[in-house]
Structure 1
Amino acid sequence: MEQTRGGDFNCGGGGGGSSRKNDETVVIGALSRFDTLPEDCISMVISHTSPRDACVVASVSKTMKSAAQSDLVWETFLPPEYSSQPANYSSKKEFYLSLANDSVLIDDGKKSFWLEKSSGKKCYMLSAMDLTITWGDSPAYWKWINVPESKFEKVAELRNVCWFEVRGKISCGMLSKGTHYSVYVVFKRAYNRSHGFDYAPVEGGVGFVGKEATKTLVFLESSSTGSADDSRSGYSGISHVAVTRAFRMRRPWMRVPRGEEVEVDKENGRNVDEPKERGDGWSEVEIGKFYINNGDSDDEIEISIMETQMGHWKSGLIIQGIEIRPEKTRN
């Protein structure tokens, strides 16, 4: 199943702009002197770089290519729990690329796991089955269905609630140390329509369990959806501070015509985020970020998506899960 990820590379070479080619030329020139070293020594040096660097080094010479493709190198890029190469893979590199190009189901099919291709950082999606959904076991409010394009056996379809609350947790020990992560809710509209999310934001929360979470407001309905005369879709351009003010005052969200002047969010310098379409047929919106350092292994990250203040009814949303992957802007 395809998932969104950044920083892909081509192990066969090629692609990229002129600046990237210049950088690679410098690296290749600096590394060519290692040709005279034993191959094991070259492999040991390459193993302290990154998967992307290993692919660049492989284009220097036959000796460097052999060293860069060795199991000694690619085993270091694999997570310890995946260091044993399955019998159906011819090399550690092939196994690594399989984990980077496609996700695998873990935890009895409740989570999916893959590697960010360029760095080897761990990525996860917590399925809807792995989340705590208020009223999720009541058929009048939520329905558990099969969707062919989902990577999981079941997804959660929202039938009708006025209290929208979804929570999830993941152990920090499962994630890559020294990594800045972004958190996304992955969803779609049932029958290409939803109700109650087009003019009211939801609150996303991300933080360590037992500590105050970082909160943000996002829309789960894009301003580009709906019919042309549907006034509910006219919130495009509303600033984060304007949404926050209305949200905290507990008043119905005001509809703002497109093009109307709105207050600029000087603190955050951005508008409230809207969903973006992915290449796998789902949509996503970022609800928060966090950082994993070397001392966080025993902690947990708690994630929440809520709209409990407005009191209006909401329906027509299908939640596949919550995706956790390294920030695109980080190395």
Structure 2
Amino acid sequence: MGTSCGDICTLPEGCISHVISLTSPVDSCRSAAVCTTFRSAAESDIVWERFLPPDYPSILSRAVHPVEYLSKKQLFFRLCETILIDDGNMSFSLDKSSGAKCYMLSGRQLFIVWGDTPHYWTWHPLPDSRFSEVAELVDVCWLEIRGKIESSILTPKTTYAAYLIFKVDQNSHGLGFLNQETTVKLGAQVSTHTVNVQPIVAERQRNGHRWHFLNSSWNAILEGHADAEQNEIAARAPQERADGWMEMEMGEFYNDEGEDGEVEMSLMEVKRLNWKSGLIIQGIEIRPKK
């Protein structure tokens, strides 16, 4: 004989809480609609403690501003928003659907070749950046940006992707005509891709004449002669985010048990050595791959 909803609701609340804690944050919220007992169980600290990362006390201790909360459920959703940690040089959040950890390394957390030489890169604040300053490319021929993060601080058994978070100044040059290369590496996993931070350079008005700038990759695509590399560039074209910044996937990796050491990420354009400017770097974000 089957068990009715009414029978389920007669189970001890602690038993129901344990079962719900084995699901997901989304399922927990849905289960609250079953009955009053389920609602109480689904909102208990027992459930939401399970959805928080085990090291959340350490993360909270690193927060730039204190994180206030009245329950573990409230804390979970507070951490689904971005908080700054490590003196404002890194941000942390939780993926709302899975509870997986997400980080963004600020520009100051990255290794940028000639990044401390004002002739090549400048640092300044931008109102819509989550960090106190961003790096803006003044003029370089050798573009090399690298970042690292320990796999042990990421959520185990999770496929992650790394994203470059950036903007391109309207007066930029040299970024849209040559391809860059991204690499994401964790242990034996290596993900390398050909990309372009500015696949179609915006129309510009110069001396009363209209100029249309398309890089060679996109010309080939429009003419129907794209090869596999050019198709990949199109597939990985930068996307606009809700916060007004652009993001471009650099590569992905599977974080098994977090025992594989550092995740190494890079953006490179060092072959043609053409001069380029106008790239504005906020950081590199590491979050679960959807």
- TM-score, normalised via structure 1 length: 0.78
Stretches of structure 2 lacking an aligned partner (at least 5 in a row): 61-65
Structure with more strand by fraction: 2
- How many residue pairs were aligned? 278
Stretches of structure 1 lacking an aligned partner (at least 5 in a row): 1-28, 239-255
Q: Choose the corresponding residue for 1:57, options 22, 31, 34.
A: 31
Q: Could you tell me which amino acid in structure 2 is paired with residue 92 of structure 1?
A: K
Q: Could you tell me which amino acid in structure 2 is paired with residue 282 of structure 1?
A: W
Q: Distance in 1 between matches of 2:116 and 2:89?
A: 16
Q: Choose the corresponding residue for 2:86, options 95, 107, 111.
A: 107
Q: Distance in 2 between matches of 1:158 and 1:188?
A: 11
Q: Distance in 1 between matches of 2:203 and 2:6?
A: 58
Q: 1:16-70 deviations in whole A, cap 9, x for unaligned?
A: xxxxxxxxxxxxx986642111001100110111000001101111110000000
1:289 aligns with 2:252: yes
Q: Percent identity?
A: 46
1:216 aligns with 2:193: yes
Larger CA deviation: 215-224 vs 175-184: 215-224
Q: Cα RMSD between the aligned structures?
A: 2.5
Q: 1:101-143 deviations in whole A, cap 9, x for unaligned?
A: x211112211100000010000011110000000001000000
Q: Choose the corresponding residue for 2:176, options 165, 187, 198.
A: 198
1:36 aligns with 2:25: no
- Contact 1:32–1:60, Cα closer than 8 Å, also in 2: no
Q: Choose the corresponding residue for 1:302, options 264, 273, 276.
A: 264
- TM-score, normalised via structure 2 length: 0.88
Change (3 A) 1:208 1:36: same
Q: Distance in 2 between matches of 1:114 and 1:307?
A: 31
- Contact 2:194–2:229, Cα closer than 8 Å, also in 1: no
Q: Distance in 2 between matches of 1:149 and 1:270?
A: 27
Q: 1:240-279 deviations in whole A, cap 9, x for unaligned?
A: xxxxxxxxxxxxxxxx377312134299877352211111
SS state at 1:289 partner? strand
Change (3 A) 1:287 1:32: farther
Q: Choose the corresponding residue for 1:89, options 44, 52, 69.
A: 69
Q: Could you tell me which amino acid in structure 2 is paired with residue 232 of structure 1?
A: F
Q: Could you tell me which amino acid in structure 1 is paired with residue 73 of structure 2?
A: K
SS state at 1:80 partner? coil
Aligned to 1:261: 224
